[in-house]
Structure 1
Amino acid sequence: MEKKFIKNIAFSEALTLESLVEYQEGRVVSLTLVQNDAMSMTLFAFAQGEGISTHSAPGDALVYIIDGQARISIGDKTIDAKAGQTVVMPSNVPHGLDATENFKMLLVVSFK
């Protein structure tokens, strides 16, 4: 059997990313698609008011907002991002995010 690098998602099908994670009140729902030494790729659904506290990561992180809106902090900068927009958070710079309304995102972190 051939090694798979992507997991938890159907292969050889046309899929809508937004439908792969569902909102749950008071929760952050995640689905890991890739996790290895070079990168991670995770889908998230955040209920309004939920978030990820400020932290830093050893890789550059790209967020693509699939649905809704989030407030993203990067260092001393704050960005309001909405569906269809992308924000890149540089490695080793403190960042966090808050769901100003229900929102879904694809997070891709490159470690190499």
Structure 2
Amino acid sequence: MDQLMKNIETATVLPFAGLVDYAPGQVASKTLAQNDAVSLTLFAFAKGEEISTHESHGDALVIALDGIGEITIDGEKHPLRAGEAILMPARHPHAVYAVEKFKMFLAVVFPSKPEGE
């Protein structure tokens, strides 16, 4: 069977936050899995960088790995530090801003499609 996840070694203990590097003035990302059911992505935000307000049709769990970020959900700002997590519910506007340099793991779970689609 083909490996379902990518960009990560198997059967190896890894420094998870170190799998994505900071880049000056950028938002860097590394996708670990992407399909109709789930999306798993690591992000590294340079200080002051952001992902602007948008919506997703899946529930999105953000786990902070390093630094300080600000997650805005429905216009309400939530500071997020390493070791903390927040759930951004599906179909609610949300955004991410790096107050300081900020690394996060994003897991999005999408609704199942009815059979035949």
* TM-score interval, smaller chain: over 0.9
Counterparts of 2:17 and 2:57, CA distance in 1: 27
SS in 1 for 2:18: helix
SS in 2 for 1:18: helix
Please tell me the residue identity of whatever aligns with 2:37: A
How big is the shift at 1:103?
0.7
Tell me the residue number matched to 2:81.
Answer: 82
Please tell me the residue identity of whatever aligns with 1:88: L
Q: Kindly, what percent of the aligned residue pairs are identical?
A: 47
Matches within 5 A, 1:1-112: 2-112=1-111
Deviations 1:52-95 (A, max 9, x none): 00000000000000000111100031100100000100000000
How big is the shift at 1:97?
1.0
SS in 1 for 2:40: strand
Structure 2's unaligned 5+ residue stretches are: 112-117
Give the TM-score normalised by structure 1. 0.97
Give the TM-score normalised by structure 2. 0.93
Counterparts of 1:89 and 1:59, CA distance in 2: 9
How big is the shift at 1:28?
0.6
Structure 1's unaligned 5+ residue stretches are: none
Counterparts of 1:26 and 1:76, CA distance in 2: 25
SS in 2 for 1:19: helix
How big is the shift at 1:4?
1.2
SS in 2 for 1:105: strand
Counterparts of 1:18 and 1:94, CA distance in 2: 26
Aligned-residue RMSD, C-alpha: 0.6
Tell me which stretches of 4 or more aligned residues in structure 1 moved more than 4 Å: none
Aligned residues: 111
Larger radius of gyration: 2
SS in 1 for 2:21: coil
SS in 1 for 2:17: helix
